[in-house]
Amino acid sequence: MILRKEYGFESAHFIYNHPGKCRNLHGHSYKLFVCIEGAVNPETGMIIDFDDLSKVVDARVISRLDHRFLNDLIPLSTAENISVWIWNELKPDLPGLVQVEVYETSDNCVIYRGE
């Protein structure tokens, strides 16, 4: 079974080698979906408690990206590279992690499933 939870963060960035307007400093209201796969624990009825998941995601990702300048952490801060960075931050604490989805806008998304 796969559990999916949505998060949001606001960040600014620029893509230094972009030939168009993304070369300029700008911001996005990002949406992040984190997907965890696992068996349902018969005692709890859950794969993972949503609150426990949120504690990890908030500490490892949201607190570090929300209202921040992404280029300070991810120099070439494309949606692709942001998704890989998020994966690398979460995977050690979430072994059941199977997918992250990063929406830069409502119709532009990157899905990353690890290496």
- The whole-angstrom separation of Cα 112 and Cα 81 is 10
- The whole-angstrom separation of Cα 77 and Cα 14 is 7
Out of 6, 22, 109, 115, pick the active-site residue: 22
Out of 13, 28, 89, 104, pick the active-site residue: 104
Out of 43, 67, 101, 109, pick the active-site residue: 67
104 is catalytic: yes
67 is catalytic: yes
Active site residues: 22, 67, 104
